Amino acid sequence: MKAITYRAFGAAAEVLQLEEMASPVPQPGEVLVDVAFTGVNPSDVKTRTRGQPGLQGFPWDFIIPHSDGSGVITAVGQGVSSNRIGERVWIWNGQFRRAWGTAAQQVALPSEQAVTLPDEVSFEVGAILGIPGLTACYAVFGHGEVAGKTVLVQGGAGTVGILAVQLAKWGGARVIATCGAMGAERALSAGADAVLDYRASDLAAQILSANDGNPVDLIVEVEFGTNIATDAEVIAENGRIAAYGSAREMSPSLPFLPLLFKAVTVEIILVYLLTQEERQATIARLHRALQAGALTFEYRKVYQISEACAAHEAVEAGARQGAVLIQTGENGLS
């Protein structure tokens, strides 16, 4: 089988390679998945360049990257029902704290990490559910319903942000999104009640105005360090800031007093580390949204497995509209 590998950290063009490898064998409790599509996320780029926090040096002989993917179960290990063979699935945490991810024609992994893909959901969409889908869903619903509340989605035209807009709207919230001018139409189409330019000098005032002068109940935050001062100004008392990114400012200064006197909950989200209960609830909610037809997924481009370097570079460049996928086999199946 074919797989994308790297054996040292570095630039995509320097370390990524396409290799022929032996097919993995599912161990007890595992399933073997013939991968249709693998999703490329910013975390995959960061892991390729600097590794994963908590792991020292280059921890394995090689790494097959990517946590997200979709495909069909073709074999099972001891203790897994043979009824799963032939099941369409999507994958989470493929290459988290292990060497073998989804950027291969086959992957063996614990059975619970291969989730049944609803019949009406394409393999392309399945490869976006792991990190973007779960992040958006947990950020919006991780601490309860949002019906009747106002949700601010900072970065509402990004891959996670646009899903958060749709999920919050489906959940009955009033939704305000911020983004650049190029993403405004997309955020509106996704269901945002108001879309504001994130670069506006009076952004906080515009957010409050868009909510009839009232503060917002929940903020889904893509750039915590850059936006925390604005967030502190517009968040309601006992409100929640669900932050899943802070790439521009990784060591932010917090306006503690305003947050304190509003009793704001600041939650840093890393979907790799959801508890079993949190993950199961988030998967169930995400599937309900899918089955309700509440979500539209965008993917910027589908690359072939031989084009993995270009796919990584596209993610690394940023400013993309939609997810980046790699097709690992003919017709989307290996």
Residues 122 and 175 in one domain: no
Residue 223 belongs to domain with CATH number: 3.40.50.720
Residues 73 and 104 in one domain: yes
In a domain, 292, yes or no: no
Helix 134-141, helix 276-291: angle, nearest 10: 100
State mean pLDDT over 246-268: 96
In a domain, 277, yes or no: no
Q: For residues 177 and 194, is the Cβ–Cβ distance under 8 A?
A: yes
In a domain, 232, yes or no: yes
What domain count does the chain have? 2
Residues 197 and 308 in one domain: no
Residues 208 and 240 in one domain: yes
Report residue 54 CA to chain centroid gap: 21
Helix residue ranges, H only, 101-158:
123-126, 134-141
In a domain, 285, yes or no: no
Residues 185 and 237 in one domain: yes
User: What is the structure's pLDDT at 301?
Assistant: 87
Quote the tokens at residue 26. 């599912």
CA atoms of 109 and 321, how far apart (whole Å): 30
**What secondary structure letter does DSSP report for 305?**
G
What is the DSSP secondary-structure string of 84-100?
GTT-EEEESSTTSSSSB
Residues 124 and 186 in one domain: no
Residues 265 and 142 in one domain: yes
pLDDT bucket at 333, cuts 50 / 70 / 90? very low
In a domain, 48, yes or no: yes
User: What is the structure's pLDDT at 299?
Assistant: 85
Per residue in 70-83, pLDDT (tens digit) is 999 999 999 999 99
Residues 238 and 310 in one domain: no
Residues 95 and 145 in one domain: no
In a domain, 279, yes or no: no
| Amino acid, res. 249 | E
Per residue in 271-296, pLDDT (tens digit) is 999 999 999 999 999 999 999 999 99
In a domain, 229, yes or no: yes
Q: For residues 19 and 5, is the Cβ–Cβ distance under 8 A?
A: yes
What is the average pLDDT value for the chain, to the nearest integer?
95
Residues 102 and 189 in one domain: no
Contacts of 100 (CB under 8 A, 6+ apart): 24, 64, 94, 107, 108, 109
pLDDT of 318 above 90: no
Domain boundary among 238, 257, 272: 272
Per residue in 133-150, pLDDT (tens digit) is 999 999 999 999 999 999
Residue 17 belongs to domain with CATH number: 3.90.180.10
Q: For residues 39 and 325, is the Cβ–Cβ distance under 8 A?
A: yes
pLDDT of 180 above 50: yes
Percent of residues, the chain, with pLDDT higher than 70: 99
Residues 144 and 236 in one domain: yes
User: What is the structure's pLDDT at 326?
Assistant: 97
Can you give the residue range of the structural domain that contains 262?
132-272
**R_g over Cα of the chain:** 20
Q: For residues 166 and 294, is the Cβ–Cβ distance under 8 A?
A: yes
pLDDT of 197 above 50: yes
User: What is the structure's pLDDT at 332?
Assistant: 52
In a domain, 248, yes or no: yes
Per residue in 89-140, pLDDT (tens digit) is 999 999 999 999 999 999 999 999 999 999 999 999 999 999 999 999 999 9
Say if strands 265-268 and 299-304 run parallel, antiparallel, or are unpaired.
unpaired
CA atoms of 258 and 204, how far apart (whole Å): 14
| Amino acid, res. 33 | V
Residues 161 and 266 in one domain: yes
Say what the pTM is.
0.96
pLDDT of 227 above 70: yes
